[in-house]
Structure 1
Amino acid sequence: MYLSTKRALLLIGIIFSLTTFPGTLFAAGFDLVKFTTTPKTPGANESVLVLMNSFAVNLSTANITWYVNKEPIKNGMAEKSITVRTGDFGEQTIIDVIILTAEGQTLNKQLVIAPAEVDILWEAQTYTPPFYKGKALPSYKSMVRVTAIPRFNTLTSNPAEYYYKWTYDRIKGAGEAIGRNSIVIPVGYAGSSVPVDVETSLPGTEWKGAKYVAIPVSDPKVTLYEQAPLLGTLFHHALKQSTETTGTEFTVRAVPYFFSLDGLLNGELSYKWNVGNQYRQSEVDAQNLTLVRSGKNLESQTISLDVQNPKRILQHARVQGVISFTSQE
């Protein structure tokens, strides 16, 4: 008796859940109508195409009315899309849709577009000398730290509260998690660029943002400076292709730019000096080369230098120049 009653109640429950009452269409635990937007994550002051589709409702025979921020914008049969323009960062665009099906049923649907502003900063983990005013650039196989800074109003939001999803090289995932606002990624060959995408959202709200940046990859370089006995490296004046001196000796200092920071700090870079066509054995400090005048008359010495990171073989730079000892007479 108890089993028969239980089966009867189960049958009644199934019939009730499948019954659709006139006037309103219920979504029993799933979405009958879905929105897609182009672009996927709209930004501020941007034109957005909103498209509506359904697997359960015949939208092609339905009368559809669109409202944007409570204002009626569009109405008609099978009007399944609309183009809207978002507001400033921090402003929500609320889209309401009323669908009247051919069977006389009504379905309400809402989409909220809340664009968050996202800035991306990147910092190459490559070397630049003290007082260098430019930006360190990534070179072959060097690492780059990329940081996202999201906000949804004029004030900077707390990055730790946001959810982040990172992608680089278009298909390589770099992690996703709440508070993961920075990543470290490798780059490729010089002359190329590494595309980085981040999608961010504020859990529990409608705020969403996205940003794309292409990080350029450069060749490393090496620059020659005079190494003065008392003042040290004269960074304010790089040596030209041809440099003159009246002294009896002249010390050249080689300074690498944009080589991987770990390789330089670990002493892994190799320096190969040539004077004329002869290899010159490195001094105590491989970055220095001291030239000595052989007589009192005008004398020129051609020097060249190759710098290479043996662990990243294409991190290589070459420079050459002429040091002229002027006559002392």
Structure 2
Amino acid sequence: MNNIYKKNFLIILFFTFIFSISVAISSVQAQISDFGDIDIIFLEISPENPRPQELVRASIESFSIDLDRASQITWLINGIVIDRGVGVKEVTFNVGNLGSRSVVEVIVQSIERGAINKSVTIRPTEVDLLWQADSYTPPLYKGKALPSSDAEITAIAIPQFINSNGRKLKISELIFTWEKDGKILNRESGRGKDTIKIRGPKTFRQTVIRAYVSSADSALQGRGYALISPVSPKIIFYENDPILGIKYEKAIINIFNLLNKEVMITAHPYFFSSQERTNSDFDYSWKVDGSKVSSSPDDESSIVLRQAGKGEGAAKIAFSIQNVNKILQSAQSSFSVIFGGAREDIPFNF
């Protein structure tokens, strides 16, 4: 009986061994067959998403065949030969206008595998990325609102995508993927999301924003980017006339000649995180010849200067501002008020 059990055990062990070998062989064969699907030639386009009429570089490389030993390499654009020869592994050309299509094809006459071809279709697109900081600038300011440290920034992507039918795609038809400093912003990305709000960089740092845009079928793709650097906020002084208002056309730089008995000077906090000139998050400080004085009762960013007596002289007016919630947003500036031609100190009433 024991011999019968031993024979049965040996038979089972033998078939188990045969089955294991079969599975192992099948596994090896499956892995080898996967290599047959690997591309023989890699065709690279740079830039990957060209703009209309942009110069493009197309190049090939291979880890399976020796391109330098190929008898001939032929390059075609939309079926027209643009270059051919031995060792021609790259070409340059200009793509067409918006809505056009360029079919890039390369044919390699290789020693190892004969004729091998590879092609890619290029459809030019355009994505402009505009941005502006949510920072203070005075009314009718012609420049751009720039970001100081930690300022909020609004960015908008403006794509120009024209399909094969010549129709410009709407924002709602496009998918936007936003990226900040290499990190994808999933919540801000999606269909029709062409605008984002982010916090800008701190002082001495930079932020890179990228917007990747594609049509729903991925036939059209493009991208835009912006490099944002913070600026130091600054203070600009203006005379605030009771009748004409703030004289934005003439900033006070270094020296102000007092021609009337009384004058109001208003400080503007350029590029601070605020939509208004005055903000409860700001700490204001006015000084005259080093001594702290009060601001205008109704406006902490303004000061009223009055000559207390007769005489000539000068006084140094200094102003500083600090954003209490963003400690790196601060600025200070000063100017001199001149009475007559003398350079002596004179008293003021505030």
Q: TM-score range by the shorter chain?
A: 0.7 to 0.9
In the TM superposition, what is the alpha-carbon distance from 1:267 to its structure 2 partner?
A: 1.9
- Alignment counterpart, residue 334 of structure 2, candidates 302, 320, 323: 320
For 1:36, the aligned partner's letter is E
The 5 Å alignment of 1:167-182 reads: 167-169=179-181, 171-175=182-186, 176-182=189-195
The answer as to 2:103 corresponding to 1:94 is yes
For 1:114, the aligned partner's letter is R
Residues 172-205 of structure 1, C-alpha deviations (whole Å, 9 max, x = no match)? 3334423222222222245654333323222325
- Alignment counterpart, residue 307 of structure 1, candidates 304, 317, 321: 321
In the TM superposition, what is the alpha-carbon distance from 1:272 to its structure 2 partner?
A: 0.6
- Alignment counterpart, residue 248 of structure 1, candidates 258, 261, 266: 261
Once residues 104 and 250 of structure 1 are traced to their aligned partners in structure 2, the CA distance between those partners, rounded to angstroms, is 89
CA distance 1:188–1:286, shift in 2 (3 Å): same
> What is residue 229 of structure 1 aligned with on the other side?
242
CA distance 1:225–1:53, shift in 2 (3 Å): same
Once residues 327 and 158 of structure 2 are traced to their aligned partners in structure 1, the CA distance between those partners, rounded to angstroms, is 34
Once residues 314 and 139 of structure 2 are traced to their aligned partners in structure 1, the CA distance between those partners, rounded to angstroms, is 30
The 5 Å alignment of 1:123-138 reads: 123-138=132-147
In the TM superposition, what is the alpha-carbon distance from 1:326 to its structure 2 partner?
A: 4.5
Bigger mean CA offset, 258-267 vs 194-203: 258-267
For 2:310, the aligned partner's letter is K
Once residues 286 and 263 of structure 2 are traced to their aligned partners in structure 1, the CA distance between those partners, rounded to angstroms, is 15
Once residues 334 and 221 of structure 2 are traced to their aligned partners in structure 1, the CA distance between those partners, rounded to angstroms, is 52
SS of equivalent to 1:261? coil
In the TM superposition, what is the alpha-carbon distance from 1:299 to its structure 2 partner?
A: 3.8
CA distance 1:32–1:251, shift in 2 (3 Å): same
Once residues 244 and 339 of structure 2 are traced to their aligned partners in structure 1, the CA distance between those partners, rounded to angstroms, is 21
> What is residue 252 of structure 2 aligned with on the other side?
239
- Alignment counterpart, residue 308 of structure 2, candidates 247, 270, 294: 294
Once residues 94 and 249 of structure 1 are traced to their aligned partners in structure 2, the CA distance between those partners, rounded to angstroms, is 75
Instruction: Check conservation: 1:198, 1:211, Cα contact below 8 A.
Output: yes
Residues 86-127 of structure 1, C-alpha deviations (whole Å, 9 max, x = no match)? 223332111234566767776654310111012121111101
CA distance 1:265–1:299, shift in 2 (3 Å): closer
Instruction: Check conservation: 1:59, 1:80, Cα contact below 8 A.
Output: no
Instruction: Check conservation: 1:293, 1:299, Cα contact below 8 A.
Output: no
| RMSD (Å) for aligned C-alpha atoms | 3.4
The 5 Å alignment of 1:27-46 reads: 34-46=42-54
Residues 155-178 of structure 1, C-alpha deviations (whole Å, 9 max, x = no match)? 864233222233333x23334423
The answer as to 2:207 corresponding to 1:201 is no
CA distance 1:297–1:102, shift in 2 (3 Å): closer
> What is residue 227 of structure 2 aligned with on the other side?
214
Q: TM-score, normalised by structure 2?
A: 0.72
For 2:267, the aligned partner's letter is A
CA distance 1:274–1:112, shift in 2 (3 Å): same
- Alignment counterpart, residue 188 of structure 1, candidates 168, 183, 201: 201
> What is residue 143 of structure 1 aligned with on the other side?
152
SS of equivalent to 1:50? strand
What is the percentage of aligned positions where both structures have the same residue? Answer: 30
Once residues 216 and 177 of structure 1 are traced to their aligned partners in structure 2, the CA distance between those partners, rounded to angstroms, is 26
> What is residue 293 of structure 2 aligned with on the other side?
280
The 5 Å alignment of 1:258-269 reads: 258-261=271-274, 266-269=279-282
SS of equivalent to 2:327? coil
In the TM superposition, what is the alpha-carbon distance from 1:313 to its structure 2 partner?
A: 1.4
Instruction: Check conservation: 1:263, 1:309, Cα contact below 8 A.
Output: no
Once residues 243 and 93 of structure 1 are traced to their aligned partners in structure 2, the CA distance between those partners, rounded to angstroms, is 64
Instruction: Check conservation: 2:295, 2:304, Cα contact below 8 A.
Output: no
For 1:39, the aligned partner's letter is P
Instruction: Check conservation: 1:59, 1:78, Cα contact below 8 A.
Output: no
Unaligned runs of 5+ residues in structure 2 are 1-25, 342-350
CA distance 1:224–1:104, shift in 2 (3 Å): closer
SS of equivalent to 2:319? strand
In the TM superposition, what is the alpha-carbon distance from 1:276 to its structure 2 partner?
A: 1.0
Instruction: Check conservation: 2:201, 2:229, Cα contact below 8 A.
Output: no
CA distance 1:161–1:264, shift in 2 (3 Å): farther
Unaligned runs of 5+ residues in structure 1 are 1-13, 19-26
- Alignment counterpart, residue 165 of structure 1, candidates 177, 186, 209: 177
Instruction: Check conservation: 1:225, 1:239, Cα contact below 8 A.
Output: yes
